[in-house]
């Protein structure tokens, strides 16, 4: 019998009368104990370095409000109506302009607007993954992607990552092992820029090498890039999609460069795939929110959105600096990554510590983080924690790191 975590309460008792009715894929949808702790961590006295919430207060709310108003005045009936399953042509044109900043030159025909890039992940997985197919993903990888892959019963195979991103040699070896075992490898899922959770960026040489490996092995690359424009010390190498069109599905999002509340992301698909993708989008949601698309489009047309992204960079750069300095002052014996953009620092704990076991103690000390185990499909990751610097102010970050040092030093003394 398959066990369905989502249908059990915290003591493991089965209270759901439909427990035996679920499809096998529902087994992948389980609540973690980490989520329960996050409920506690959301108390105002707890410094949360756990979530990845963008600092939307830095947005020009008046400009966004006036975009809303103009949409209602000029295009109310269309904005309130169902729309195309591919997204509005105006927004798709603007998305091309944004992608051009990262070296991507696609066709407006191949852009599909989605309800956040999370839905792009879901659609691509739905199109390509049969139960048991392999998805290669960095070790660690984005928790939300792991959830999607699991929900389609993929086998997730992690590949080593270091300070320059995914390691090509490790990828080659893993592919050889999986091929020898007769597995069907469908996708390589990668976050090349300012990785969530690892904070690292894939070097240009590795991008090219990885593309070649995937091309040689018939593996489709799923390039997830929500953070690429949020760089602090200079732009990252150009997108993988900028050098390879047919073998890369690119995911973009307005969640980090504008606001996640609009729930607007996009897929730039190889031309051959885009028709299926639109059909999958229509089957899932009919059409992405017309209203959100109109407002985002109007905002992009009338606001200095590049200056706004620069503002975000400044806010996050200052917070990153605060976090790295505080780590250096209070936890010098640990090691961590040095992100050049994005939201996250990935910390390695001393071997004897277990980040998941330590979390209740941290919450007691009024600080929260995400344990590394959330980012591995195979239950590993105990020695790591992800710290987010995107939402709390620099002062709050410093307070949080001081508290974290108390927790870690206390654990080491036990």
Q: Residue numbers of the site for ligand PMP (CB under 6 A)? A: 52, 116-118, 142, 144, 191, 196, 224, 226, 253, 255, 260, 265
Contact yes or no for 407/362 (Cβ under 8 A): yes
Residue 373 near residue 382, CB atoms below 8 Å: yes
Smallest distance, Å, CB 145 to ligand PMP? 6
Name which of 106 and 265 has its Cβ closer to ligand PMP: 265
Q: Closer to ligand PMP at the Cβ: 240 or 358?
A: 240
Query: In angstroms, what is the minimal distance from the CB of 101 to ligand PMP?
Result: 17
Shortest distance, CB of residue 195 to ligand PMP, whole angstroms?
8
Nearer to ligand PMP, 274 or 386 (CB): 386
Q: Find out whether 319 and 397 touch, Cβ atoms under 8 Å.
A: yes
- In terms of Cβ atoms closer than 10 Å to its own Cβ (0-12, 13-18, 19+), residue 363 is buried
- Residue closer to ligand PMP by CB (options 60, 144) is 144
Cα within 13 Å of Cα(326), Cβ side: 23
Least Å distance, CB 239 to ligand PMP, is 14
Q: Which is nearer to ligand PMP, 137 or 175 (CB)?
A: 137
- d(C-alpha 400, C-alpha 215), whole Å: 45
Q: Are 287 and 260 in contact (CB under 8 A)?
A: no
Residue number with the smallest Cβ distance to ligand PMP: 116
C-alpha span between 237 and 48 (Å, rounded) = 31
CA distance 144 to 109: 28
**Rounded to the nearest whole angstrom, what is the least distance from the CB of residue 352 to ligand PMP in the complex?**
30
In whole angstroms, the minimum distance from the beta carbon of 80 to ligand PMP comes to 23
**CB of residue 16 to ligand PMP, shortest distance in Å:** 28
Cis peptide before 43 (omega within 30 of 0): no
Close Cβ partners of 218 (under 8 Å, ≥ 6 residues apart) = none
Percent helix / strand / coil, the chain, rounded to 5: 50, 15, 35
Nearer CB in complex with ligand PMP: 154/408: 154
Any residues with CB less than 8 A from the CB of 285 and at least 6 apart, and which? 115, 119
Nearer to ligand PMP, 52 or 400 (CB): 52
Minimum CB–partner distance for residue 341 and ligand PMP (Å): 13
The three-state secondary structure class of 252 is strand
Contact status, residue 115 vs residue 288, Cβ threshold 8 Å: yes
Nearer to ligand PMP, 144 or 235 (CB): 144
How do 155-162 and 335-336 pair as beta strands?
Answer: unpaired
């Amino acid at each position: 019998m398959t066990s369905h975590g989502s249908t059990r309460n915290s003591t493991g008792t089965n209270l759901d009368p439909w427990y035996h009715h679920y499809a096998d894929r529902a087994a992948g949808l389980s609540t973690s104990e980490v989520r329960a702790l996050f409920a506690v961590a959301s108390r105002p006295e707890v410094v949360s370095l756990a979530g990845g919430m963008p600092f939307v207060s830095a947005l020009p709310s008046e400009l966004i409000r006036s975009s809303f108003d103009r949409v209602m005045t000029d295009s109310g009936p269309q904005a309130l109506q169902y729309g195309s399953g591919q997204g509005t042509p105006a927004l798709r044109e603007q998305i091309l302009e944004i992608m051009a900043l990262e070296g991507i030159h696609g066709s407006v025909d191949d852009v599909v607007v989605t309800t956040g890039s999370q839905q792009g992940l879901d659609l691509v997985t739905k199109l390509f993954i049969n139960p048991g197919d392999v998805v290669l993903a960095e070790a660690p990888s984005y928790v939300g992607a792991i959830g999607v892959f699991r929900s389609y019963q993929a086998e997730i195979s992690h590949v080593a990552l270091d300070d320059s991103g995914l390691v090509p040699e490790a990828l080659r070896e893993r592919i050889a092992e999986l091929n020898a075992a007769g597995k069907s490898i469908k996708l390589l899922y990668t976050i090349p820029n300012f990785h969530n959770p690892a904070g690292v960026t894939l070097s240009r040489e590795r991008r090219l090498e990885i593309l070649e490996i995937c091309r040689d092995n018939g593996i489709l690359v799923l390039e997830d890039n929500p953070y690429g424009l949020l760089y602090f010390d200079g732009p990252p190498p150009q997108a993988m999609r900028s050098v390879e069109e047919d073998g890369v599905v690119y995911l973009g999002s307005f969640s980090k460069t504008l606001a996640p509340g609009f729930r607007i992301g996009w897929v730039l698909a190889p031309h051959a795939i885009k028709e299926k993708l639109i059909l999958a989008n229509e089957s899932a949601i009919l059409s992405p929110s017309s209203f959100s698309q109109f407002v985002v489009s109007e905002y992009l047309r009338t606001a200095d959105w590049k200056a706004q992204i620069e503002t975000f960079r400044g806010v996050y750069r200052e917070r990153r600096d605060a976090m790295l300095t505080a780590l250096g002052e209070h936890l010098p014996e640990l090691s961590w990554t040095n992100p050049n953009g994005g939201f996250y620092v990935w910390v390695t704990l001393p071997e004897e510590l277990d980040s998941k076991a330590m979390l209740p103690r941290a919450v007691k000390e009024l600080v929260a983080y995400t344990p590394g185990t959330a980012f591995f499909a195979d239950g590993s990751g105990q020695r790591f924690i992800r710290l987010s610097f995107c939402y709390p102010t620099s002062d709050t970050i410093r307070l949080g790191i001081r508290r974290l040092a108390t927790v870690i030093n206390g654990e080491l003394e036990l």
